[in-house]
Structure 1
Amino acid sequence: MAGKITPAEGRYGGKDAAQRQAERRARFIEAGLDLFGREPGYRGTTLAELCKTAGLSSRQFYEQFHALEDLLAELHLMVHGLAQRSVFEILPDIQDLPLAERLEHMLRAYVEGAAADLRHARIVFVEVIGVSSRMDLQRLERRSTWISFFTAITDDAVARGEMPPADYAIASAAYIGAVNGLMHDWVVGWVDATREQIADELLQLLVGRYKIAI
């Protein structure tokens, strides 16, 4: 009979338990994106509202997560992963370009990956701030990965003879801080600009600090 669970197959509606769990998790993630990444935001979202948006029950939520913060943490990592993949996917194609062009491609790929969906940008640059010590640590760990990545980029430029030898770790940390600060202010509406204008400004900050000709 269609829609009936059978001991032999362990299926319902043609889907096994793992598939159903995965679909429910995806629905909670999409609901979290809508509520945390728009209004009312993470702090204004209740479990009841999240479940209503997902069309699922609180029991089904607790099968996936321990608390709303767990969902926020997963969304935060998910967006960072999207931004990282956006950058890494273009690296093989730009390795032979001049430094200024490589940096522009990487920067625009990052902004596109992190902020093409404004829900993503709000979660990463606004909603996670000050939630808890756990989220602060996760946020700083992800920030540290970008600082390390950027330091590696400058080290590579030094090795290529495109930049003078120096310890660029402090500059990398300062620049990543500027990226986070500007993105935050843009997402909350304190800076009136398009995504392309934000990318342009971040590029100008970058080439100005390192005195790179564009």
Structure 2
Amino acid sequence: MAGRLKAPTGRYGGKTAEQRQAERRRRFLDAALQLFGDVPGYRATTVAALSETAGLSTRQFYEEFRTLEDVLAALHLQVNDWAEQAVIAAVTGAEHLPLAERAAAIFRAYAANVTADPRRVRITFVEIIGVSPRLEEQRLARRARWVRLVCAEAEAAVARGEAAPRDYQLAATAFIGSVNGLLHDWNAGWVEATLDEVVDELVRQLLGILQPVGWGPQEI
């Protein structure tokens, strides 16, 4: 399919064309979360099955998307956006807290959002892997965005005298890998721990990076 079909324009059923398009898109993404994030998974889903689950036609699918890969790309971004919004809200709400409590609040918000629905974990850490160079580029770009967020919080802690001054790019990249791996394994049942225990372990790792042995807090 070279491109999407042209969607109808004008008002119908009390809704504008833009409102109807947004609703169709939401229904397709909801259906994708169900099928890609559970059984049968992205690779075994067809346009017909996705459309049927969404309660829409295949023609309406091609009015919104070119391929199923486009749907997976949009869903992956949406799941990451949900988690990012939760983290940003936690950052704002924890600004007055000491470093350890602030880090715990931020990562508890992230973990709670991502693991609230196991299908989100599968989209983020499983289904997106190995699909195409385009989606690999998107996955790495979103991971880099998380790395930048960790670096920004680390630099804020340095400015407060709570963390050792250094370039945190490499350490943040390694830490995000730990976050992704541990949450994936926990969700898959390979780690015997509560979510709070997982978060506590991640916070200990982060504090070890920010406050290495031999470094002491500085008065600002």
Residue 90 of structure 2 corresponds to 90
- Does residue 205 (structure 1) correspond to residue 201 (structure 2)? The answer is no
Q: Distance in 2 between matches of 1:22 and 1:165?
A: 46
Q: Distance in 2 between matches of 1:160 and 1:211?
A: 13
Contact (CA 8 Å) 2:42, 2:127: kept in 1 or not? yes
Aligned length: 205
Shift of 1:211: 4.1
Contiguous gaps of at least 5 residues in structure 2: 1-8
Q: What letter is aligned with 1:79?
A: V
Residue 110 of structure 1 corresponds to 110
Residue 137 of structure 1 corresponds to 137
Q: Distance in 2 between matches of 1:10 and 1:66?
A: 23
Contact (CA 8 Å) 2:65, 2:71: kept in 1 or not? yes
Q: Distance in 2 between matches of 1:192 and 1:94?
A: 29
Give deviations 1:181-202, integer Å, cap 9, x for gaps.
1222233343344433332332
Contact (CA 8 Å) 2:164, 2:211: kept in 1 or not? no
Instruction: Give the direction of change, closer, same or farther, for the CA distance of 1:55–1:97 in structure 2 (3 Å limit).
Output: same
Shift of 1:112: 1.8
Residue 160 of structure 2 corresponds to 160
Greater than 4 Å deviation, 4+ residue runs: none
CA RMSD, 1 decimal? 2.0
TM-score, normalization: structure 2?
0.85
Tell me the SS of whatever aligns to 2:149. helix
Shift of 1:95: 1.3
Give deviations 1:59-110, integer Å, cap 9, x for gaps.
1100000100111111111111111110111323221211111111111111
Q: What letter is aligned with 2:34?
A: D
Tell me the SS of whatever aligns to 1:43. helix
Q: What letter is aligned with 1:147?
A: V
Instruction: Give the direction of change, closer, same or farther, for the CA distance of 1:59–1:150 in structure 2 (3 Å limit).
Output: same
Residue 52 of structure 1 corresponds to 52
Residue 71 of structure 1 corresponds to 71
Give deviations 1:126-149, integer Å, cap 9, x for gaps.
110111101100000010011111
Shift of 1:156: 1.4
Instruction: Give the direction of change, closer, same or farther, for the CA distance of 1:83–1:19 in structure 2 (3 Å limit).
Output: same
Q: Distance in 1 between matches of 2:140 and 2:96?
A: 32
Instruction: Give the direction of change, closer, same or farther, for the CA distance of 1:161–1:46 in structure 2 (3 Å limit).
Output: same
Higher mean C-alpha displacement, 13-22 vs 79-88: 13-22
Shift of 1:11: 3.4
Tell me the SS of whatever aligns to 2:136. helix
Contiguous gaps of at least 5 residues in structure 1: 1-8
